[in-house]
Amino acid sequence: MDDEQRHGVWRSGLWAAAAAAAMLGWVAWGNLKEDAQAGPFSSLHGAKTDAEREMAGRLLAEGYQVLRSDAFSDAMAGLSERYPAVYARDSAQAVNPRAIADIVALRTSGARYAPAQAALVDGGGPHLGMAGEAGYTSGRHADVIITREVLAQFASPDVVRRSCAINVAAHEYAHTISLTPVGLTNAFTDTNERQRVIPNRRDGASPVASYLIGSTAQCVWLVAQGRIGREAIPRCIEVFGVQSFNWNRCGAFAGGGEVAARPGLPPPSPGL
């Protein structure tokens, strides 16, 4: 490049665009590196006692760790024939579970868990938890909220009831996964406080990824607790739902026995 060409590049502003792109790349790389080391949450608010704080932290940590495990990834990928087309978000309405496993495991380029500020709150509605972009960081961080109703489930002596709390935690963490290192481009969406059904959903009978993720995490956790065998994961997932969460079934297995569909279970929740 001769002097005239260099001057032309300078005058055109291309140098500024190149510098901005380099800066964005540097920020993105830094975000990915930092977020990979962030752990299940950066802070935890709302606990009334030290014991409550410890239990909430343990629930969130276990829900997060299940998602990051090879056992979860293998189980999710193994559902590809059973559920070949899963709703992930508005722009990805027929995703294969193997691709979901890759996103959750951060094998998809640019994917990250947005560092979560967690909070424990009283119930007061149909929501068991909520998660999404933190309002003060423009996509850099996420908020995760869990109700005390869920925490009480995690304190139960019944391991299946406890697993339902893991379902909620894993489901909410799924909403903190971003497909981009800058900003929060949600990998998995469903409903919010203003929308009780998923808008623009083309196949109302398809599984919803966030709920499939929650139920898969729940059942993988039950395998780790020795409550079910690995081969029982698909039957367990069917019990707790892939289009919404069948919370009312959590107490139906306290007497032991297979965690699988059977007569007399509470009816499934309506799909979203």
Asked whether residue 88 is assigned to any structural domain, the reply reads: yes
* Residues 15 and 75 both lie in one domain: no
> What are phi and psi for residue 119, nearest 5 degrees?
-145, 145
Confidence of residue 31 (pLDDT cuts 50, 70, 90): low
Over residues 222-270, the pLDDT tens digits come to 999 999 999 999 999 999 999 999 999 999 999 999 999 999 999 999 9
> Does 47 have pLDDT greater than 70?
yes
pLDDT at 187: 97
Question: How many domains in the chain?
Answer: 2
- Please state, in angstroms and rounded to a whole number, the distance separating the CA atoms of residues 242 and 56: 25
Give the pTM.
0.87
The proportion of the chain whose per-residue pLDDT surpasses 90, expressed as a percent, equals: 73
Q: List, for residues 165-207, the tens digit of each pLDDT value.
A: 999 999 999 999 999 998 889 999 998 777 888 999 999 999 9
Query: Residues 10, 55: one domain?
Result: no
Cβ atoms of 232 and 78 within 8 Å: the answer is: no
Is residue 267 situated within a structural domain? Answer: no
- Residue 131 pairs with which residues in a beta bridge? 144
Tell me how far apart the alpha carbons of residues 259 and 48 are, in angstroms, rounded to a whole number: 34
Question: Containing domain of residue 19, as a range?
Answer: 1-37
What CATH number is given to the structural domain containing 203? 3.40.390
Q: How confident is the model at residue 3 (pLDDT cuts 50, 70, 90)?
A: low
CA distance 30 to 188: 23
Residue 264 is assigned to a structural domain of this protein: no
For the cut 90, the answer to whether the pLDDT of residue 134 exceeds it is: no
Residues in Cβ contact with 188 at an 8 Å cutoff, skipping those fewer than 6 apart: 88, 89, 100, 103, 174, 175, 177, 209, 210, 213
Do 125 and 22 belong together in one domain? no
Residue 257 lies in a domain: no
